[in-house]
């Protein structure tokens, strides 16, 4: 049974970082209720949940994916690109030390976990505004010893690599080619999102089930027709902070 580590929504969630979206009013109570629905979906998909309490003064801390990269052999504690998010890693490192050996990205390099897509022994890292080439070099040196190859991927117009491309299992990827350079993924089968739904490329697979936002019906329809089992969740309030479904958990397979 996979374990999912999650963290409740901060009371200061409305003070989140924003890069590509305009700030809109955010209802923290609605965001919390949606987060609870997301945690229920993780449970329904077969995860055991370890839920960390909300961090009052860390507005974006619900997006726990950005604080670590978990592999079977090691967990790498990141150094998030936004200064307001750097303290988020502390509590996560404490919890992860019970599950894995830890390594850490060292200053001045920065890395957000949302930029790291693990596909078997290949690790793809988005060159975003949050993740630096130096971090990619550090990942190469830590992960090379375990037989992983690390690739960098050029991004345009989105926050993280996993805003643009995620795995739906069996060598298949869900992708927005406007945001990620698809040539990096030539050895995979690519499923394109609907052009009307640019944020639709972020799906979280737990075993054979895809946890997926309710807001992308055209892409969801395409996925279901191609045999992907979906569990849809309303994450519209979390999306106002540029978050999606992978970013609200750390999965320990």
Contact residues toward ligand CIR (CB under 6 A) are 16-17, 19, 60, 63, 65-66, 82, 85, 114, 159-160, 163, 241-244, 247
Q: Which residue, 86 or 172, has its beta carbon nearer to ligand CIR?
A: 86
Q: How far is the CB of 132 from ligand CIR (least distance, A)?
A: 15
C-beta atoms surrounding 211 within 10 Å: 25
Q: Which residue, 35 or 160, has its beta carbon nearer to ligand CIR?
A: 160
For 123-137, give one letter per residue: b (16+ CB within 10 A) or e: bbbbbbbbbbeebbe
Q: Supply 184's token pair.
A: 């990096």
Set 16, 35, 158, 160: catalytic member: 160
- The answer to whether the Cα torsion of 174, 48, 142, 109 is positive or negative is positive
User: How far apart (Å, rounded) are the C-alpha atoms in residues 115 and 124?
Assistant: 8
248 counts as catalytic: no
Q: Which residue, 17 or 73, has its beta carbon nearer to ligand CIR?
A: 17
247 counts as catalytic: yes
The answer to whether 175 and 146 have CB atoms below 8 angstroms apart is no
Find the residue with minimal CB distance to ligand CIR: 114
Q: How far is the CB of 16 from ligand CIR (least distance, A)?
A: 4
Set 47, 158, 247, 248: catalytic member: 247
In the numeric block, the tokens 């200053």 are attached to 107
Active site residues: 160, 247
């Amino acid at each position: 049974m996979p374990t999912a580590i999650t963290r409740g929504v901060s009371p200061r969630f409305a003070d989140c970082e924003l890069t590509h979206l305009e700030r809109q009013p955010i209802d923290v109570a609605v965001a919390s209720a949606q987060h609870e629905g997301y945690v229920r979906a993780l449970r329904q998909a077969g995860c055991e949940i370890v839920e960390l309490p909300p961090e009052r003064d860390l507005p974006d801390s619900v997006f726990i994916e950005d604080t670590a990269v978990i592999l079977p052999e090691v967990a790498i504690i990141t150094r998030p690109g936004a200064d307001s998010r750097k303290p988020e890693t502390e509590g996560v490192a404490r919890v992860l030390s019970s599950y894995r050996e830890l390594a850490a990205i060292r200053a001045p390099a920065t890395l957000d976990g949302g930029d790291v897509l693990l596909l078997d022994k290949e690790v793809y890292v988005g060159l975003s505004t949050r993740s630096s080439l130096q971090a990619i070099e550090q990942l190469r040196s830590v992960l090379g010893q375990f037989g992983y190859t690390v690739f960098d991927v050029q991004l345009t117009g989105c926050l993280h690599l996993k805003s643009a491309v995620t795995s739906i299992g069996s060598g298949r990827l869900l992708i927005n080619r406007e945001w990620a350079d698809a040539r990096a993924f030539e050895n995979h089968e690519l499923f394109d999102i609907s052009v009307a739904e640019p944020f639709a490329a972020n799906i979280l697979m737990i075993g054979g089930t895809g946890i997926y936002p309710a807001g992308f019906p055209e892409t969801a329809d395409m996925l279901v027709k191609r045999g992907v089992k979906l569990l849809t969740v309303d994450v519209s309030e979390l999306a106002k902070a540029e978050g999606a479904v992978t970013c609200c958990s750390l999965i320990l397979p």
